[in-house]
Amino acid sequence: MFRSPPRPTPANERKNLEVLMAASRATRREFIKGAVLSSAALAFPYVVPSSALGAGGRTAPSERITLGFIGTGDHGIGRNLTGFLAHEDAQVLAVCDVDTERREKAKALVEEHYSKTRGQGPYKGCDAYNDFRDIIARKDIDAVVISTPDHWHVIPAVMAARAGKDVFCEKPLTLTVAEGRILSDTVKKHKRVFQTGSENRSTQIRVYHRMCELVRNGRIGRLRHIRVELPQGRWIRPASQEVCPPPKGFDYDMWLGPAPEAPYCPARCHWNFRWILDYSGGFLTDWGAHLIDIAQWGNNTEFTGPVEVEGKGEFPKEGIFNTATKFDITYRYANGVTLNVVSTQPGIRFEGDEGW
């Protein structure tokens, strides 16, 4: 059981993370070396399918990146798991979720996919875990894909990096600046590959690529101002706020993890976690992680940030949902550019001295 006080100080935050994290450091090369030595002990011949050697355009198993999925909810399955399954050079070995129904759904999806695409009969090679540490402890897994609620992003990511694994993690990466500093420092120290799951940067949404290319190449003159518009209010999925026991097969205590103690109710978990400050930040972090990132990209300030921030917001005073429903925030950068983030309808606008 994991607990920490709400909104810890940076010093306590680092201490809490240190206490919560421990991981294996074995590499994939060591695993493969052990497997080769073991196979050398075999004293009888056997037939190796040509596909196992990379024939027919297939990627040989030894060349595939082995993956473990931590968090298999809507986005974890619908976008990330199905997305990686489409890549021949990736191999999903394990899935993890604190919700039994969700992780078994993910396991079935993986095994059905490989049964159909590998052409070697029923595939039963995907393990399912309740605890993400079981995935991180696996020496045969190269990288993890983290699609948990936001408050559970940093700890698995840091543990995976320390264990020598690369990381793909959903946005927003962290809930605090201190967490972000710890994560960044850890990835750099252990020389891992880390990617943020932000589909607005992917080739599927080319308009943002084009927009930032034009702005950064001076097509609107010198950039002066950026306006980012995010949805206002909340998109709450109907669920009861009545306190009750967690359903069978749902490890609610593990779901809370590093967040403060709170009684279970159906409305608190899964999709609706976005509207509770202990776990997320509402549209400001959910959609903001996309569009504010594009603003940073266009402003060529991806590796830094604003020097001044001021703003205001409206926060509900009743019920469990307490993220801001309205906000108006202004950022000022060292290059003189200003950024205004407001709650209205999704959009982004770059304004220069020669156009917008």
Cβ atoms of residues 341 and 288 within 8 Å: yes
Check residue 309 and give its pLDDT. Answer: 97
Check residue 188 and give its pLDDT. Answer: 97
Closest CA to 160 of 126, 180, 183: 183
| pLDDT-based confidence at residue 37 (cuts at 50, 70, 90) | very low
**28-48: string of b/e by CB count within 10 Å (b at 16+)?**
beebeeeeeeeeeeeeeeeee
- Domains of the chain, start order: 10-197 (3.40.50.720), 206-352 (3.30.360.10)
Check residue 57 and give its pLDDT. Answer: 57
Whole-angstrom Cα distance, residue 252 to residue 331? Answer: 38
Check residue 35 and give its pLDDT. Answer: 33
Percent of the chain scoring above 70 in pLDDT: 83
Check residue 58 and give its pLDDT. Answer: 67
Q: Does residue 80 register a pLDDT over 60?
A: yes
| pLDDT-based confidence at residue 273 (cuts at 50, 70, 90) | very high
User: What's the whole-number average pLDDT of the chain?
Assistant: 86
The two tokens of residue 351 are 């304004």
